[in-house]
Structure 1
Amino acid sequence: MPHTAEWKVRLYLFEEDHTTKARLELDTGTNRLMGHGTARCAPQDNDVPEIGDELAVARAMEDLALQMKRAAYGDMQAAGAPSLQEPLKPCTGWLDTAT
């Protein structure tokens, strides 16, 4: 069965005091989700805003992806599929901060 959909995504970046924050908003038409990510420049590193942007956005995408998985797994369970045991928590990395 053919299916076509358009989902709208908006990305916002904020930088202050060597900290970059990203907010990623997804609107599927029936659901709205928001992912968040943060990156901090280590004191010994050069301040390169593009790196903070990339890390914060990547982390916001990871956060949004986890929410999408949870939604899909919930929908699958509601449709009668067996529960999945896949871990839903991302691995942390260098200067990764809780969102």
Structure 2
Amino acid sequence: MAISVEWPVRLRLVEEGGTTTARVELRTRAATFTGHGTARRSPEDRDVPEIGEEIAAGRALRDLAGQLLRTADDDLEDAGAAPPRHETRTAYGWTDALA
């Protein structure tokens, strides 16, 4: 039997002074997630609002995707079917290279 679920998504974009911000909100059956993204136009670049919108929206959606995947990982762990955790490495010297 197929089950169909719809999750409403709202995306708001605001451009002001060469900076575009995006806020995306997703409502699931269990929770509401909010992702954020920002794009800044370099002063020497042409003013093309669509590019800032695409970048800011993409970053907000990527933020939202990360939240969903972390929540799914936590839910899997709670259900006893967790994926293997990534090991934590200790950095020695040149720590900026690992950031």
The alignment's TM-score, normalised by the length of structure 2, stands at 0.80
Unaligned runs of 5+ in 1: 87-99
- Say what the alpha-carbon RMSD is for the aligned residues: 1.4
Q: Does the Cα contact within 8 Å between 1:20 and 1:52 map onto a contact in 2? A: yes
Counterpart in 2 of 1:68? 68
Aligned length in residues = 86
**Equivalent pairs: percent with the same residue?**
51
Unaligned runs of 5+ in 2: 87-99
Higher RCO (CA 8 Å, separation ≥ 6 residues) = 1
Q: After superposition, what is the alpha-carbon deviation per residue over 1:56-96, rounded to whole angstroms, capped at 9, x for unaligned?
A: 0000000000000001000011110134446xxxxxxxxxx
The alignment's TM-score, normalised by the length of structure 1, stands at 0.80
Q: Which has the higher helix share?
A: 2
Q: Does the Cα contact within 8 Å between 2:73 and 2:82 map onto a contact in 1? A: no
Flag the structure with larger Rg.
Answer: 2
